[in-house]
Amino acid sequence: MTNQAFDQTVDVLVVGSGAGGMAAAVAARKKGLEVLLLEKEALYGGTTARSGGVLWVPNNPISTFKPQPDSLDAARTYLRHECGAFYDSERIEAFLAHGPRMVDFFTKETAVSLIPLPDYPDYHSESPGGRTGGRSIMAAPMDGRELGEHIKQLRPPLKEITFVGMMFNSSAEVGHFFNVTRSFASAWYVAKRLVTHAKEMIFHGRAMRLTNGNALAARLAKSAFDLGIPMWLESPATALIREDGRVVGAVVHKKDGGSVRVRARLGVVLAAGGFPQDVERKKSLFPHAPTGQEHLSPAPPGNTGDGLRLAESVGGKVARDLPNAAAWIPVSRVTRSNGETGVFPHLIDRYKPGIIAVNRRGRRFTNESDSYHDMGMAMQKECADGAEVAAWLIADHRTLRRYGLGFAKPFPLPLGAHLRSGYLLRGATLAELGQKAGIDGAQLQATVNEYNVGADQGKDLQFRRGWRVYNRFLGDKTHEPNPCVAPVRQGPFYAVKVVMGDLGTFAGIRTDADARVLDAGGQPVPGLFAAGNDNASVMGGGYPGGGITLGPAMTFGFIAAEFMAAEGLAEQAVAHSRKAVVAA
């Protein structure tokens, strides 16, 4: 087959516009390669645009590690502990070696700006090699007007974790909103933010102060647009094209309804966001979702496993043996004003004092202030013998009005709509609340009584809540003696039902240390790479710290770009050599 069979030729074709895909595209273009970026949906940014925008990169060059510097040896020790039998030494060595280089490259040569999070601990910082801060970094806020007209196609943040469309970028900022009725400084801060946000909504129709994952996606996109990388929206790759066993391009269905054949001279990078919205693959890989519908994901609707299917079509294999096929998180169903169902990820409320979680029998079953992934694993284990993986978050009136509960916001915002929709349940007594929730009310009362014995002294006698540095990091630092523990006592009482969700899938395409897709025999499929959630998690199904999705996503996108650039240089060298021979 010759070039005439193709409608367009580039060096690198990237499928997907999340952090992994855009990192590969930007790095490849900076190395002089011609790049085309494809996005299936009408909006770019993928799951990244809805994320927290945090990257976990040990030994990164922008953090000041205290009391002693980070080291690769410490990171290896920690990852060996966290990954267990699924420790992939070659891929982890690549991540640890190139992650700091990736950060240095993007912060110095592109529009990406990252800021340190010195107090953000590893999720199990008490484990060997763990750190109490520094390995997690995040995207700096960005003014969306820097994107010009392209801001219109940036995927907005998840509605359920914004306040009237406003994004937050730090726990300190969230703290101001929690303290709005208790502190003049916080009230003044909130008032200024609301006025600024109102102006943005009036003049632009959306928030212009971009934070978290929205800022990261925007910064990567600006880098791509500044470099002249074309981005085709509403243009999914529907098939890969091979010549002599090598992937040389893809068939692309463009939004005008036609299909084009794009040649990728050096490689195709699959970065289509994994499979959180693929019902069939969820049925196959999520034990708690026998119909595929029991699992809720806040990921974009287009993340339906396209990259995995494309890889499988040319011999690539999906990692089906990981202990966890996704990054678990408890979520709740929210009925939006238009009747649609939204997904609220419980990222903050579980850590606050006075909020506990119980099973359908009304019993506590885990440390509620552990990471979302740990909480998700605990829910699945606790409910393995039941028809549904679910739990209920419980709070009394004072706690609810102080911190909120799930999508129900704290005072002074009203609760009526949430009570009428059934999202928030209320009972004058714990027995009445249990009856409304369908859980054992008598046992719930006994559970709360038992919990309160220790909680009155700031102790969790059953699960030691607050003992981990990470527990306390997202607790209420103003609440003493334990920022995660307070009694549940002052009625009325409230409950929100949580079910299983994810922050991205782990069971991706098997790859090597160069991000090359591997076949059933463990050999690279020539010309095919994977990054982001299309790439099997380098963490082996574990969740060591905040940003273990985005850190590896950008690192392996960067690695793929470097590999293809090196191949291109090698080809040029061979061509020059041949010309020299002919000339001689």
The whole-number pLDDT of residue 295 equals 95
Domains by residue range for the chain, with CATH = 1-151+214-324+506-584 (3.50.50.60), 327-502 (3.90.700.10)
Look up residue 98 and give its amino acid: H
**Residues near 270 by Cβ (< 8 Å), separated by ≥ 6?**
15, 16, 307, 310, 311, 509, 517, 528, 529, 530, 531, 534
Strand 425-427 relative to strand 493-505, pairing: antiparallel
| Spatial distance between the Cα atoms of 75 and 80, rounded to a whole number of angstroms | 8
Confidence (pLDDT) at 210: 93
Q: Give me the tens of pLDDT residue by residue for the chain, a chain 584 residues long.
A: 444 589 999 999 999 999 999 999 999 999 999 999 999 999 999 999 999 999 999 999 999 888 889 999 999 999 999 999 999 999 999 999 999 999 999 999 999 999 999 999 999 999 999 999 999 999 999 999 999 999 999 999 988 876 656 566 655 666 666 666 777 777 776 677 777 767 777 777 777 889 999 999 999 999 999 999 999 999 999 999 999 999 999 999 998 889 999 999 999 999 999 999 999 999 999 999 999 999 999 999 999 999 999 999 999 999 999 999 999 999 999 988 787 889 999 999 999 999 999 999 999 999 999 999 999 999 999 998 877 999 999 999 999 999 999 999 998 889 999 999 999 999 999 999 999 999 999 999 999 999 999 999 999 999 999 999 999 999 999 999 999 999 999 999 999 999 999 999 999 999 999 999 999 999 999 999 999 999 999 999 999 999 999 999 999 999 999 999 999 877 766 665 566 666 65
As a whole number of angstroms, the distance between CA 357 and CA 495 comes to: 9
pLDDT at 482: 97
Burial category of 71 from C-beta neighbours within 10 Å (exposed 0-12, middle 13-18, buried 19 and up) = middle
Handedness of CA 276, 282, 286, 289 (dihedral sign): positive
Q: pTM surpassing 0.75? A: yes
Give the per-residue pLDDT at 84: 95
- Contacts of 273 by beta carbon, 8 Å cutoff, 6+ apart: 16, 18, 46, 47, 299, 300, 302, 303, 307, 504, 532, 533, 534
The secondary structure of residue 45, as a DSSP letter, is S
Q: Residue 142: its pLDDT value, please? A: 95
In eight-state DSSP terms, residue 535 is B
Does the N-terminal peptide bond of residue 67 adopt cis geometry, omega within 30 degrees of 0? yes
